Chains A and B, each alone.
Chain A
Amino acid sequence: MLTCHQVAEEATEYMEGAGARTRRLRVWAHLRVCPNCREYLRQLSRTIGLARRALAPPPAAEVEDELAAIFAAHGKGAAE
């Protein structure tokens, strides 16, 4: 039986469906009987969803204005 430590180390490999089949089966067998590791993997997987939605600071107004001006000028040039 794998230990929680081993399962935790291999969690991403397991979640990505990588690694040898026999190894994945051993992780799966551990998860069946270990609610603590199941919860840990569930949290890792929800973390991916949070990362996807992570917010970044919006651009400074002057940066946005400058880019918008370049966009407008380019559009005009292309239209002529």
Chain B
Amino acid sequence: MAAEAVLVARLRANDQAAFRELVRARHGRLLRLAGAFCRNRASAEEVVQETWLAVITGLHGFSGEAPLAAWINGILVNKAKTRAVRDGRMVNFSDLARQESEGDAFEPERFLPDGHWAEQHRPWDALTPEREAGDRELLAGVGEALDKLPPAQRAVVLLRDVEGLESPAICQALGISDANLRVLLHRARVKLRDAADRMVRG
């Protein structure tokens, strides 16, 4: 948090290098998050641009109560929702949640008829703490796996696991129930775990 206070002070002092640092750290993540709300890349890019403008003009009003990233994410989610309404194509996460919760979370062949796993999960011994923190290829691959999730699952896992929001805030932002949230989160995590499993071993 101390490092963040320094960054915020530099930003308020119009330190350009600090702003570039922030853009480099957050832009890609914002674009990824916007992508879950917007129907195409161009409008996601515009939403991120609008978000940065709001950050620039709002920095002096930033209270510092929430972390900077959380404040910026909140702006992005609001901009994305406003934008969707303006475009007349509000993403209805409640409908998406229903669609994306249909069927089973697991392919039936992953379990034997008696309910046991058909596969033996081998430990991720190859995933050392060093790799977990610094294997850029692996971590970029996880990012790509995030981008491939269906939009409601993506929105939920990005807000919850990637950005660390609490469940009630996510339910409110997306207009979904707590039960919806857990089903979507589960499906997203199951898919990400499978992708990670392939990469950890590959």
Contact = CB atoms under 8 A, between A and B. Distances in A.
Interface of A: 3-6, 8-9, 11-13, 16, 18, 36-37, 39-40, 42-44, 46-59, 63-64, 67-68, 70-72, 74-76, 78-79
A74 B55 CA distance: 11
Given A4-B115, A8-B106, A53-B132, A74 B57 contact: yes
Given A43-B121, A57-B28, A70-B53, 5 more contacts: A39-B121, A40-B121, A46-B196, A47-B193, A56-B31
A39 B182 contact: no
A54 B14 contact: no
B192 A50 contact: yes
Nearest to B52: A67
Please list the 5 inter-chain residue pairs (A to B) with the smallest Cβ-Cβ separation, ordered nearest first: A3-B115, A56-B28, A75-B14, A12-B186, A59-B27
Q: How large is the interface on B (under 10, 10 to 19, 20 to 34, 35 or more residues)?
A: 35 or more
A18 B111 CA distance: 24
B29 A50 contact: no
A70 B143 contact: no
A13 B186 contact: yes
A3 B171 CA distance: 30
A50 B142 contact: yes
A64 B158 CA distance: 23
A49 B135 CA distance: 13
B42 interface: no
B123 interface: yes
A41 B162 CA distance: 18
B164 interface: yes
Nearest to B140: A55
A70 B56 contact: yes
A47 B139 contact: no
Given A59-B24, A67-B19, A50 B196 contact: yes
B95 interface: no
